Amino acid sequence: MRAALSLWLPISAGVQSALASNQHWSSDGLEIDCWNGEVVRVVFAIDTCDREIIAWQASTGGIRGEIVRDLMLACVESRFAALRAPWPVQWLADNGPAYIACDMLDFATSLSLVPCFTPVRSPESNGVSEAFVKTLKRDYTRIQPRPDALTVLQQLPAWIEDYNENHPHSGLRMCSPREFIRSQSQPASCPV
């Protein structure tokens, strides 16, 4: 492993959040079980300040390094309209093979992402991502029809769009991620 490229975070408090957007992104994956036995695997990245799902990828196969690299690039392009972040952005993930491969670490560095990893067997240290997984499963997948993988794959974009645009967060003063982002970009009104 390339210690110079990775930063092991001794996180125990659970929820890790940044003070401003585009400082710290967190990535994780989840599985959505379909009624016919198929499984959809989703990998995503979330900004730990504004809680927006920046980008995501879904597959009926496994999550490989190629998918994670595509996810990283999609995040940088979405947030910065560039092929490289203008400043280092921490990228927190677990120790899964798709995240710790040397070519992934090199690719992250080329995008100006700083790979950081949770302690082994400590999912709570990636609390913002884990909270999104719980929300997606509780408020979307559990109450929607999931007869097969194709149906889930067709519904996923709407679920994530609804989460980003409408789902309130107590940590965002009960705003949705995008409402919070819009409120941050608007100038303060003059009190006079």
pLDDT of residue 125: 66
pLDDT of residue 108: 95
Residue 1 is assigned to a structural domain of this protein: no
CATH of the domain at 165: 3.30.420.10
Residue 157 is assigned to a structural domain of this protein: yes
Residue 83 is assigned to a structural domain of this protein: yes
Three-state secondary structure call for residue 79: helix
Query: Could you list the pLDDT tens digit for every one of the 192 residues in the chain?
Result: 333 333 333 333 344 567 899 999 999 999 999 999 999 999 999 999 999 999 999 999 988 889 999 999 999 999 999 999 999 999 999 888 888 888 889 999 999 999 998 876 665 567 889 999 999 999 999 999 999 999 999 999 999 999 999 999 888 889 999 999 999 876 544 443
Residue 187 is assigned to a structural domain of this protein: no
Name 6's Cβ contacts closer than 8 Å, sequence gap at least 6: 100, 105, 115, 116, 117
Residue-wise DSSP of 86-142: SS-EEEEE-S-HHHH-HHHHHHHHHTTEEEEEPPTT-GGGGHHHHHHHHHHHHHTGG
CA distance 133 to 118: 16
Q: Are 92 and 16 in contact (CB under 8 A)?
A: yes
Q: Are 177 and 170 in contact (CB under 8 A)?
A: no
pTM of the predicted structure, to 2 decimals: 0.85
Number of domains making up the chain: 1
Which domain, by its residues, includes 174?
7-181
Q: Are 8 and 33 in contact (CB under 8 A)?
A: no
Residue 114 is assigned to a structural domain of this protein: yes
Q: Are 47 and 85 in contact (CB under 8 A)?
A: no
Q: Are 65 and 27 in contact (CB under 8 A)?
A: no
Strands 113-117 vs 24-33: parallel, antiparallel or unpaired: unpaired
Residue 192 is assigned to a structural domain of this protein: no
pLDDT of residue 34: 97
Order of strands, edge to edge, in the sheet holding 113-117? 7-8, 113-117, 89-93, 24-33, 39-47, 53-59
Residue 188 is assigned to a structural domain of this protein: no
pLDDT tens across 70-92, in order? 999 999 999 999 999 999 999 99
Residue 190 is assigned to a structural domain of this protein: no
